[in-house]
Structure 1
Amino acid sequence: MKKYIFFCLTVFTLSCQKSGDTLFVAIDAADSGINFKNGIEETNDLNVLVYEYFYNGGGVAAADFDNDGLTDLYFTANQGADKIYKNLGALKFEDKSEVAGIKWNNEWKTGVTVVDINADGLLDIYVSVSGNEERPDLRKNKFYINEGGFKFTDRAAEYGLDCDGFTTQTAFFDYDKDGDLDAYVMNHNVKDFKRFDVEAIHFMRDQYAGDKLFRNDDGKFTDVSKEAGIKGNPIGFGLGISVSDLNQDGWPDIYISNDYLEGDYLYVNNQDGTFSDKISEMVDHTSYFSMGNDVADINNDALPDIFTADMLPEDNRRQKLLFGPDNYEGYLNMLQNGFHPEVMRNMLHINGGNGQFSEMGQLAGISNTDWSWSPLLADFDNDGFKDMFISNGYLRDYTNNDFVKFYSEQRSEGNDNVLDIINKMPSTKTANYAFRNNGGQTFENVQESWGFDVARITNGAIYADLDNDGDLEIITNNLNEVASIFENRTNEKGHFIGVNLKGNSSQILNTKIKVYADGSSQYREFSPNHGFQSSYYGPQVFGLGDLTSVEKIEVIYPDGKGQTLMNPAVDTYIDVAYTPEELLENENDVPLFKELDFQLVEHSQKHLNDFNRQILLPWMYSYQGPCLTKGDIDNDGIEDFYLGGGKGFPGQLMKGLGNGKYKATNKLVFKQWELCTDVDAEFFDADSDGDLDLYVVGGGYEYLPNDLMLQNRLFLNDGKGNFSKNDTSFPADIFSDAAVEVFDFDNDGDQDIFVAGFVVPGDYPKANPSRMYINDGGVFKNLNTDLFTKLGLIKDAKAVDYDSDGKMDLVLAGEWTDIKILRNTGTGFEQVNDAISSGTGFWQSLLFEDFDGDGDMDLIAGNLGLNSQYCASDKEPLQLHLADFDGNGRIDPVISCFIQGESYPAYSRDELLDHIGSLRKVYTTYEIYSGVTTQKFLDNFPNIKPEVFKATNLSSSYFRNDNGKFVKVDLPVQMQAAPIYAMLAKDLNGDGKKDLIAAGNNTHTRVRIGNISANHGQVFLNDGHGNFSFLAPSKTGLNLKGETRALLEIDKKLLVGQSQDKLRMFSFK
């Protein structure tokens, strides 16, 4: 790699630590000189009922407009004049608006962007305009060209950028790499589209609401939106824009946050002047009310991650007031009409480096921040990891359910006094949020300790080092309140280095900067757009924590060239002039897996909606498959496999042909059972005749409890691979089951069977009995004991001699239960209570292997994970109260969870009342229901004593076997990204140690919970002592989006079974 040629050093004096109890301190307006206030006035003609984005507020820009080395500020106003302030130093500012020529002609200003458009070394200001539906002439965007001396002239028309759409924000970047800056103008709709032709509207182009891409043709901008592949339909509600090389191919991509039904756009640059929206391919799901966004590397893996803000409240009261009921059929209809899955909460999309993002917001602890606007990702405490600031607030609770009902009534009664109606709309100020990065994957809420616990209404926000002391201040544009400057008082132990790129905007925008120190690295990409309607153009600050030296800085320019700075000084800002040289390309590692072109074998089943049967379910139970099992059915030395079927689609027995190909066999035998749902299966010699028979477990939730399609099936092999169903070997038990485990229980030389009983269809959470069938000469007899009938909802079972006494014991996993160990006594089983302490959870899968090399079997257990709205601990368990609360003869499973220290029902008012109608007279308003705790709910039924289920641990866990006692050891946090349904142990890197492959996901959840699907097939490398490390997705070669239910090693390859998808096969490295 070639060394850097030229750079300039500018050293600023570091400020001393100041007193104060919080990291940030709000500077009084009288001290700062910042007296800007974005005040709005509601009238009968202009208000939130007329213009839905009336309360969205203004933006703020931070940049050095006069090249004096100090960062200045620009604020946009909705119903007044914008303001520009010169930084005088020491956090003092002077209003330069009049000198600058910033005027107001009744335009509604929104976003502000900073760029040097004419390459004269002076930063210009582009102001986006929206608001006035009737007057396009009052919606023309402004382009203030910097003439020096804080004087600006609006030349938007001259550049062809005096757009008159409803613009939220604009971004400048060189998308075609022709050496000049192009522009993306992000607009939003203002019309009410309750009914529309879905197929047609996606391809429509709306002059004012549709986004636009402008190509710079020698200083004149040309609209190339259509030919470039930019969507311009009227249902786009663009609220956030970021430009970044999201797929790391060297070309700038675009991320657009869209409010409401229209999904976010992730435009991948095709490198030919066009873009393709890859949101459905690269991102599992997005925020529903997607507002501002920001892009940064939050886990220091040199990849840009994406954060989008939404409006899910943190507290129970506002959740219950602002939430509507789940409508799964409506959600399904949305998906069937081509819309992307969306959920109302903040999203943190972690870049896998393989073209895929995993959504980790709930696991990270940053998903619920109320009505949020401007997320900012930056290292605010200079510890080397990027933290989060999220602006918050909405003037009135527009979605308050009581108000929505009141408004509907007023309209039906003909009340046309709009202001009177608006004044009945509740107003709740909320505090901004701050989160400290815990080291890469999770965050701590430091709202109070960082000084952001004052309730206000904040929209646009940006960061900048206003006093040149090496830490970042935060500047906010507040609604109906003076703007705020929060001084950062990071103490001296937080060292830093600042990189100030020098050059034309077209040369340096989207430049990548990598700082290497002490064996780790940090990454930033220089792009001005951040958060909501806001912009920062200035030095990039990298916190170093206790480190006092930096090995090197790599600067990679958008033209692919760059420079390297060796051993730069720290606690300074370094001016880096554009001096490009060729850079050596890094060699890419060969992934562990390579997907093969496997023949079309697919798992399918008919669409089912379990919520229609039981509205209070946490998720559906009809989608349990597919299962996979293998065996040599004809003794030809080639492994064959069985793929379980789904309702309406039969299971498939695939015979191996020896050339990597497989052929379906015994089709007619299995077609007779195509109405069954196969949830597990196992090959074993049931009749001791020397060949492998097949036992298939029936399950699912869509049947009646005594439906014959639930019956488990034994198919006997004639020795040549021909199968026939046997009806005499097993009792005619009919239950919905979940798993089968085959082992020799009584050491008599033949194989016995344990079957895990699961949920009774239609009566969740009632459990079917588990059974132990003893093989007596090919006839299986039920070992009837009370122990097996009272195990609960068992999901998985594994036979293992955990105590090394020569007898195979049983280990069981299940929902609302702990991991159970049933010790084999030789004549039966006894439950051992002191061998493992797992906590009760939603345990889904079990894997035994000697991971620490001490000769006994350790355990990894797959659980729900920590990436959902469900939380549980010993002190604050997730609970289910089961009783016939409304006296209609049907049980009511009411789930409750803790929020901020108190337990509440986990349902909206309408959902609960639809199931327990007797409460309609009690909870007459949403306000009343918003304060109902679990205990208050139960107090309505003093004569009912419900059965209580508890979950205290939702983490997937590793249990090390220490002489028959299992000790819980934490797994890497990535293991908690989604439910784990399938695992496989195999040495993947050739070190002789068994590593872990884990997969799962659940996409059939309640609408409010949303898809829990951040596991795309994970690999954890084992050091041989049971210590696992997460392997980056870019190094695995796995891309298992969707619901993975089975992993099977066959013919030295990995076979993957996914629900309602084709089988996939991967070769090992």
Structure 2
Amino acid sequence: MFRVIAGWVWLTMGASLFAQSAANGKPTSAPEFVDVAEKAGLSMQIVSGEKDTKKYIIETTGTGIGIIDYDNDGWPDIFVVNGKRLGPQRGSEPMNHLFHNNHDGTFTDVTNKAGITGSGWGQGVCVGDYDNDGFDDIFVTYYGKNRLYRNEGNGTFKEVAESAGVAGTGGQWGTGCAFVDYDRDGKLDLVVANYVDFDLATAPGPGERASCMWKGAPVMCGPRGLKGASNVLYHNLGNGKFEDVTKKAKIDQTPGHFCFSVSTIDYDEDGWPDIFIACDSTPSILYHNNHDGTFTDVATISGVAFNDDGREQAGMGSTIADYDGDGHLDIFKTNFSDDTSTLYRNKGDGTFDDATFAAGLGQNTQYLGWGTAFFDYDNDGWPDLLLVNGHVYPEVDKYKLGSDYEEPRVLYHNLGNGKFEDISRSSGPAITSKWSGRGLAVADLFNDGQQAAVIANMSARPSMLVNQRPTKNHWLELKTVGTKSNRDGIGARITIQAGGRKQVQEVRSGSTYNSSSDLRVHFGLGGATKID
């Protein structure tokens, strides 16, 4: 069954051609992920303050990745958010980059040609066709004024945030974002998470306060000791402009949180999109859509505000999928080091259980997690989990504090029985190599049925993870096109049946960590050759 809100669904089906798989769809060998970023042409450097020391918290949060088919040629392109350095710039100002997919495994930097040369303290990105003209647009969050790049349909973009009413005050620190049609009027609205109230001119330095110490070492200050910021909701007026409805929609009823990634999810399956926000050192937020233009934070009563111990965690990234195949969408969240990530299993009654340990995910607590994505790397029909890690304190290396600043990625294989297996060490050099990573987006970059991952690394080039040992399992890719709904079909819930079981996904903008993955929906089919 395809449940699409007044629109079309384009289908692509296929099978991978190269490696072996067992008859039941389970892999006979581990994947072999390699980093092909340099070979593919992603050679730019991501800047986030200074490299070897972090004096202020603004230098630590990194940037996101956006996947967008900006020229509608059917091949995903890549947008990389960039930051800046402290003090006077040395040489040219770091800027965001747009890479065009050449259809041959390589990408061309078209940043200048596309007119999308933004600079500043860039943070997150989300993709969506806010004006329903058939060409996806790009929204970028900043410490400072946010930017909205309207796709002109000719390979170029125009920055229109001020005229559209979504630039913000300039005093906010935007992080995660997502386009979502929260009132189902056929126009994409915009939700923006904000982190902390922060002023570089008055910010304390390392060790100057109690909150500026970690395990006895002086480090940058925050987020504790700083004031949490309010999230923002913009309603699309349909004339190229947005209205700030934060108070009207009661989004402002969650003060004091330090918010990062935004994931839309119809968790209670009432046909109205809800919003989950992972928050740092404060409870997570789950905005329930009340169907009347307002939201209520139900994170506590739904079971996703805290972990199973009733303790708030330092949430960073989040990802959504039906990991156990029961037809209900679940939530996975990455957290700070010396803690587990958190898997919230949707019980189907509007509440969640903390299934972290039951699912085998209560490990790797030495890592500090950021971007994360459910993605079916072996196309067996069960979503696997990729985690991007990296510490915020370079001082952990200097003072030997039990963690490394640069950390390996983690890959969990879904066993299909509600449990995961950590296969990181046997999954290739792109998983085991160490980086300080942040944003993550996944996409079938080469239209071969294999989902690749693009990662934003601190003070380094991006990574592009490609599995060189794919299975022969079949796959299905869907692109939703709205006619009465928003043009991208964002919010559509899609259920398929193949190989004797059902799978469910939603079309969403945003998620992972301050990033935006391919808007096409990818299903692994295992050995099935058709959908019922």
TM-score interval, smaller chain: 0.7 to 0.9
Corresponding residue of 1:528 = 509
Q: C-alpha separation between the residues in 2 aligned to 1:28 and 1:3?
A: 36
Corresponding residue of 2:220 = none
| Corresponding position: 1:269 with 2:289 | yes
Q: C-alpha separation between the residues in 2 aligned to 1:462 and 1:230?
A: 27
Q: C-alpha separation between the residues in 2 aligned to 1:527 and 1:162?
A: 22
Corresponding residue of 1:1011 = none
Gap change, CA 1:222 and 1:7, over 3 Å in 2: closer
Letter in 1 for 2:57: E
Corresponding residue of 1:387 = 384
Q: C-alpha separation between the residues in 2 aligned to 1:173 and 1:455?
A: 35
| Corresponding position: 1:36 with 2:81 | no
Corresponding residue of 2:464 = 485
Q: C-alpha separation between the residues in 2 aligned to 1:514 and 1:43?
A: 45
| Corresponding position: 1:129 with 2:150 | no
Letter in 2 for 1:69: G
Letter in 2 for 1:145: R
Letter in 2 for 1:494: N
Gap change, CA 1:229 and 1:455, over 3 Å in 2: same
Worse overlay, 499-508 or 295-304? 499-508
Gap change, CA 1:8 and 1:39, over 3 Å in 2: closer
Query: What SS does the corresponding residue of 2:358 show, helix, strand or coil?
Result: helix
Corresponding residue of 1:467 = 446
Given candidates 438, 446, 455, the residue that maps to 2:415 is 438
| Corresponding position: 1:184 with 2:191 | yes
Q: Which has the larger radius of gyration?
A: 1
Given candidates 172, 178, 192, the residue that maps to 2:179 is 172
Gap change, CA 1:227 and 1:41, over 3 Å in 2: closer
| Corresponding position: 1:351 with 2:364 | no
Corresponding residue of 1:649 = none
| Corresponding position: 1:57 with 2:62 | yes
Structure 1 position 500, deviation (Å): 1.5
* Aligned partners of 2:63 and 2:438 also within 8 Å: yes
Structure 1 position 401, deviation (Å): 12
Corresponding residue of 2:25 = none
Letter in 2 for 1:92: T
* Aligned partners of 1:96 and 1:150 also within 8 Å: no
| Corresponding position: 1:23 with 2:36 | no
Gap change, CA 1:387 and 1:426, over 3 Å in 2: closer
Q: C-alpha separation between the residues in 2 aligned to 1:239 and 1:292?
A: 7
* Aligned partners of 1:166 and 1:208 also within 8 Å: no
Q: C-alpha separation between the residues in 2 aligned to 1:360 and 1:496?
A: 28
* Aligned partners of 1:129 and 1:167 also within 8 Å: yes
Letter in 2 for 1:23: P
Q: C-alpha separation between the residues in 2 aligned to 1:379 and 1:491?
A: 11
Query: What SS does the corresponding residue of 1:231 show, helix, strand or coil?
Result: helix
Given candidates 113, 122, 125, the residue that maps to 1:112 is 125
Gap change, CA 1:214 and 1:76, over 3 Å in 2: same
Q: C-alpha separation between the residues in 1 aligned to 2:97 and 2:8?
A: 37
Given candidates 252, 256, 264, the residue that maps to 1:231 is 252
Gap change, CA 1:13 and 1:250, over 3 Å in 2: closer
Given candidates 393, 397, 408, the residue that maps to 1:396 is 393
Gap change, CA 1:384 and 1:233, over 3 Å in 2: closer
Structure 1 position 251, deviation (Å): 0.5
> What TM-score, normalized by structure 2, do the two folds share?
0.83
Structure 1 position 13, deviation (Å): 8.7
Given candidates 311, 316, 322, the residue that maps to 1:297 is 322
Corresponding residue of 1:875 = none
CA deviation vs aligned residue, 1:266-307 (integer Å, no higher than 9, x gap): 110111111111111111624510111111111111111011
Corresponding residue of 1:259 = 280
Q: C-alpha separation between the residues in 2 aligned to 1:84 and 1:290?
A: 28
* Aligned partners of 1:382 and 1:490 also within 8 Å: no
Gap change, CA 1:359 and 1:11, over 3 Å in 2: closer
Q: C-alpha separation between the residues in 1 aligned to 2:510 and 2:270?
A: 20
Letter in 2 for 1:89: H
Q: C-alpha separation between the residues in 1 aligned to 2:320 and 2:2?
A: 29
* Aligned partners of 2:265 and 2:275 also within 8 Å: yes
Gap change, CA 1:302 and 1:116, over 3 Å in 2: same
Q: C-alpha separation between the residues in 2 aligned to 1:485 and 1:159?
A: 33
Given candidates 55, 78, 86, the residue that maps to 2:100 is 86
> What TM-score, normalized by structure 1, do the two folds share?
0.42
Gap change, CA 1:289 and 1:387, over 3 Å in 2: same
Corresponding residue of 1:913 = none
Gap change, CA 1:222 and 1:399, over 3 Å in 2: farther
CA deviation vs aligned residue, 1:860-918 (integer Å, no higher than 9, x gap): xxxxxxxxxxxxxxxxxxxxxxxxxxxxxxxxxxxxxxxxxxxxxxxxxxxxxxxxxxx
Structure 1 position 12, deviation (Å): 7.0
Gap change, CA 1:498 and 1:233, over 3 Å in 2: closer
Gap change, CA 1:401 and 1:486, over 3 Å in 2: closer
Given candidates 74, 79, 83, the residue that maps to 1:74 is 79
Q: C-alpha separation between the residues in 2 aligned to 1:246 and 1:427?
A: 36
* Aligned partners of 1:395 and 1:429 also within 8 Å: no
Gap change, CA 1:234 and 1:277, over 3 Å in 2: closer
Structure 1 position 6, deviation (Å): 7.2
Corresponding residue of 2:159 = 154
Letter in 1 for 2:128: V
| Corresponding position: 1:221 with 2:227 | no
Query: What SS does the corresponding residue of 1:293 show, helix, strand or coil?
Result: strand
Gap change, CA 1:400 and 1:229, over 3 Å in 2: farther
Worse overlay, 222-231 or 431-440? 222-231
Gap change, CA 1:550 and 1:429, over 3 Å in 2: same
Q: C-alpha separation between the residues in 2 aligned to 1:6 and 1:189?
A: 41
Query: What SS does the corresponding residue of 2:348 show, helix, strand or coil?
Result: coil
Structure 1 position 478, deviation (Å): 0.9
Corresponding residue of 1:288 = 313
Q: Which runs of 5+ in 1 are unaligned?
A: 131-138, 196-205, 314-343, 405-424, 552-1069
Q: C-alpha separation between the residues in 2 aligned to 1:501 and 1:457?
A: 35
* Aligned partners of 1:14 and 1:468 also within 8 Å: no
RMSD after superposition: 3.0
Q: Give % identity.
A: 29
Q: Which runs of 5+ in 2 are unaligned?
A: 21-28, 85-93, 211-225
| Mapping 1:499-648, distance limit 5 Å | 499-503=478-482, 506-507=486-487, 508-551=489-532
Gap change, CA 1:78 and 1:7, over 3 Å in 2: closer
* Aligned partners of 1:311 and 1:372 also within 8 Å: yes
* Aligned partners of 1:72 and 1:86 also within 8 Å: yes
Corresponding residue of 1:247 = 268
Gap change, CA 1:464 and 1:93, over 3 Å in 2: same
Gap change, CA 1:348 and 1:11, over 3 Å in 2: closer
Corresponding residue of 1:973 = none
* Aligned partners of 1:461 and 1:477 also within 8 Å: yes
* Aligned partners of 1:57 and 1:479 also within 8 Å: yes
CA deviation vs aligned residue, 1:311-355 (integer Å, no higher than 9, x gap): 235xxxxxxxxxxxxxxxxxxxxxxxxxxxxxx421100000011
Q: C-alpha separation between the residues in 2 aligned to 1:453 and 1:96?
A: 31
* Aligned partners of 2:10 and 2:479 also within 8 Å: no
Q: C-alpha separation between the residues in 1 aligned to 2:180 and 2:476?
A: 26
CA deviation vs aligned residue, 1:160-211 (integer Å, no higher than 9, x gap): 001121100211111112221211111011458999xxxxxxxxxx999211
* Aligned partners of 1:56 and 1:394 also within 8 Å: no
Q: C-alpha separation between the residues in 2 aligned to 1:119 and 1:166?
A: 28
Q: C-alpha separation between the residues in 1 aligned to 2:182 and 2:445?
A: 31
* Aligned partners of 1:282 and 1:356 also within 8 Å: yes
Gap change, CA 1:128 and 1:457, over 3 Å in 2: same
Query: What SS does the corresponding residue of 1:349 show, helix, strand or coil?
Result: strand
Gap change, CA 1:95 and 1:362, over 3 Å in 2: same
Q: C-alpha separation between the residues in 2 aligned to 1:275 and 1:493?
A: 44
